[in-house]
Amino acid sequence: MADMTREDLGDGAWLELAERWLDPADASTLMVRMVATLPLRTELVTVFGRQRPQPRLTAWHADPQCVYRYSGLELKPSPWAPELASMRDRLTNELGVPFNSVLVNLYRDGADSMGWHADDERAFGESPTIASVSLGAPRRFVLRHRETRKTREFSLGGGSLLVMGGTIQTGWQHAVPKTTRTVGSRLNLTWRWFR
């Protein structure tokens, strides 16, 4: 298994980062293949009663019973593509978590983003372990403590694996902010166990 750096954020929240979980060349090949083959699309979400497109493309792949509902959206699972199934099996093996779903996000450029949130839906359980694999160009990933407002940030580059665990989804939120800098596209895969 790749080198992992573990960081304790206090109150039972922790992170693990492997910057080179995938070889950079393999990460680029995988990105090209996934962008070409996965059913990535713009979803419409309802925020304060109004429908608007999410500023990124997404695909939801999971076991058939995993229907993901949030912000008025209902994502029915797409079947496992072979490269997703093998990433899932490697992660399950290395982390000992039976991942059965992945949300794939494509940030085409700096205008695509993800706002402040936590992966705290009930379907993910009490203290979920979430594995986030990044492919393509690096983007800023920021964590913010809900009460102290303390922040912690990473540049998540192609081939990296960030694991979030313990109470991190209760105590902290995270985001991928927009940027006016010229950045290449980035594909992120967040793996979860969905009950």
Ligand X SMILES: O=C(O)CCC(=O)C(=O)O
Q: Between residues 29 and 173, which has the closer beta carbon with respect to Mn ion?
A: 173
Q: Between residues 33 and 145, which has the closer beta carbon with respect to Mn ion?
A: 145
| From candidates 73, 119, 140, 177, binder to Mn ion by CB under 5 A | 119
Region from 58-66, 119-127, 153-161, 179-187 binding Mn ion, contact rule CB under 5 A: 119-127
Chosen from Mn ion, ligand X, none, partner binding at 192 (C-beta under 5 to 8 Å by type): none
Q: Which helix (H) or strand (E) holds 135?
A: strand 130-136
Please tell me the distance from the alpha carbon of residue 44 to that of residue 67, in angstroms, as a whole number: 16
Residue identified by tokens 């694996």 is: 161
φ and ψ at residue 42, rounded to 5 degrees: -85, 125
Contact indicator for 43, 73 with CB cutoff of 8 Å:
yes
Q: Does 114 bind ligand X (CB under 6 A)?
A: yes
Site for ligand X in 134-193 (CB under 6 A): 141, 156, 174, 176, 188, 190
Q: How many helices (H) and strands (E) does the chain have?
A: 3, 15
Q: Which residues bind ligand X (CB under 6 A)?
A: 103, 105, 114, 119, 132, 141, 156, 174, 176, 188, 190
